[in-house]
Amino acid sequence: EAAVTQSPRNKVTVTGGNVTLSCRQTNSHNYMYWYRQDTGHGLRLIHYSYGAGNLQIGDVPDGYKATRTTQEDFFLLLELASPSQTSLYFCASSDGTGDTEVFFGKGTRLTVV
């Protein structure tokens, strides 16, 4: 089964702080995604990538940067964290995009105080 590992699992930061969330997948998937999950909004796509050096915007990209350094590693950067970015963040990967199963990591709980 596809393995997607996220770190850290929990993070607390202050408003205006910098945060980097890390994700590594070990299944040679081309596509990687960052989602946030909030009650009442479901899973919303922030950014995704189809290979090293590539970045595509999702549905809620404002306030987030992302970088795909290798096929395995995808990072989400919050350079000026705000309380509205308090959320549960999931990284995911898949072979393709729209019509293949998406495999999720265990999530990172981020709290911005």
Partner 1 sequence: QQKVQQSPESLIVPEGAMTSLNCTFSDSASQYFAWYRQHSGKAPKALMSIFSNGEKEEGRFTIHLNKASLHFSLHIRDSQPSDSALYLCAVSISSGTYQRFGTGTKLQVVP
Looking at 90, 93, 110, 112, which residue binds partner 1 (CB under 8 A)? Answer: 90
What are residue 71's DSSP bridge partners? none
- Terminal-to-terminal C-alpha distance of the chain: 36
The 17-56 site mask, x for binding partner 1 (CB under 8 A), equals: ----------------x-x----xxxxxx--x--------
Token pair recorded at residue 56: 């595509």
**CB-based contact 31:74 (threshold 8 Å):** no
Residue 9, Cβ neighbours under 10 Å: how many?
11
Residue 104 touches partner 1, criterion: CB under 8 A: yes
Nearer to partner 1, 75 or 104 (CB): 104
Looking at 3, 12, 59, 79, which residue binds partner 1 (CB under 8 A)? Answer: 59
Q: State in angstroms the smallest separation of the CB of 80 from partner 1.
A: 26
Nearer to partner 1, 34 or 81 (CB): 34
With H, G, I as helix, E, B as strand and everything else as coil, classify residue 85: helix
**Dist CA 87 CA 90 (whole Å):** 10
Residues found near partner 1 in the complex (CB under 8 A): 4, 33, 35, 40-45, 48, 58-59, 90, 96-107
